[in-house]
Amino acid sequence: PLRAILWRAIISPQALMRNVLIFVRVGRSKTVVGSKEIIRSIICRASPGDLSSQNSKTIPRLLSPLIMSANGDSVAAMRRIRNALEQNKYLMEFCTVDNFYEAIGALSEDLEAFDGIPLFINADDLKSFEGLKNSFVILINATWHLIHKHRGLLRLHETLKEERSRISSDNSSLSNQIKRLREVILKKDSALNEMQERERQLQVKVNNLSREVKREREEALKLKKQMQSREDQHAHEIRRIQLSGNKLREQLQKTVGTCAPREKFTSTSRQTEQEKKIRLCQQTINRLEENNSVMMQEINDLRQELALHVNGVELHMESSGLWNETTT
């Protein structure tokens, strides 16, 4: 398994870094910190011939400098190992004269796994010049196919990048639009709440005004009844005063008529007493007439007050918008 790890590491230096670190951590329970010189020496010495040999002592020999340089700083170790592998990945040789056939087999397996392009190259064909030419043509065609595949993948990658950029822009635009719509919804909700509150307040005012108008109408009816009762009382009082005045005038005329023939023969005292009675009757009549005029004035005042009150109620009803409702 360790030879397989280092064999894959020749193709992928990152795999070497990961697998070597895992091996050392599991086997030694320590964290590896490899310097650039140690990693470079491992990569330079890790040839395919060494990895494919049956001598298992080669791998511990390659790993011993890395294991011996371990300390406690795992983050710095991984960073140094990664930097070293990145700098030395172009120095590794996949195919050499010694491992030519093994490299052809590995390349054929990788190509077949990658895109189904097997390399049908026999070892016997490589011994002749014509066979080498055919093998070289096969390798060129495979390389050409890989190049076109790579270009297609690059174009697909660029298309995906553009599509991703467009989708990202659309998402940003949609996010901004959603944000604006949320703000509009919040404003609409706030305005709706304000309108509902105003409607509630207006409904309360309408109810209060309705009760007030009803109370005013009842009060107007009461005032009208009181005015009618007052008018009836005043009319009755006026008739009574008029009857009393007529009776007093008749009595005065009778008194004056009966006392006129005797004036010549009555004494001065009786004449004075009669004059006093006449004056008293005249004063009573004047007082009754004054009371009558006062009562008529009160009736007129009450009528004016009632008219003003009715006009005020009507104006109040018109201003509150309830004129049609109350009239119906």
Mean pLDDT of 3-11: 44
pLDDT higher than 70, residue 123: no
Mean pLDDT of 225-239: 82
Mean pLDDT of 141-161: 89
Least confident of 73-82, 104-113, 186-195, 197-206: 73-82
What is the three-state SS of 67-124?
Answer: HHCCCCCHHHHHHHHHHHHHHHHHHCCCCCCCCHHHHHHHHHHHHHHHHCCCCCCCCC
Residue 211: its H or E element: helix 129-259
More confident residue, 320 or 200: 200
Residue 267 gets which letter from DSSP? -
Other CB atoms within a 10 A radius of the CB of residue 300 amount to 10
Q: Taking the domains of the chain in order of start, what are their residue ranges?
A: 1-94, 219-327
Provide CB contacts within 8 A for 59, sequence distance 6+: 2, 3, 6, 51
Are 71 and 31 a contacting pair, CB within 8 Å? Answer: yes
Q: How many percent of the chain have pLDDT more than 70?
A: 59
Residue 223: CA atoms inside 13 Å, Cβ hemisphere, count?
18
pLDDT higher than 60, residue 180: yes
pLDDT higher than 80, residue 265: no
Per-residue confidence at 157, pLDDT binned at 50, 70, 90?
very high
Over the stretch 51-73, which tens digit does the pLDDT of each residue have?
443 333 444 444 444 444 444 44
Structure tokens at 242: 């008029």
Rounded CA gap, 202 and 19, in Å? 80
* pLDDT score of 87: 57
> Tokens 């330079």 identify what position?
44
* pLDDT score of 32: 40
Over the stretch 269-311, which tens digit does the pLDDT of each residue have?
666 777 777 777 777 777 777 877 787 787 777 777 777 777 7
Per-residue confidence at 125, pLDDT binned at 50, 70, 90?
low
Rounded CA gap, 102 and 5, in Å? 16
For the packed helices 129-259 and 268-319, what is the interaxial angle rounded to 10 degrees? 170
* pLDDT score of 16: 46
Over the stretch 79-98, which tens digit does the pLDDT of each residue have?
665 665 555 554 456 778 77
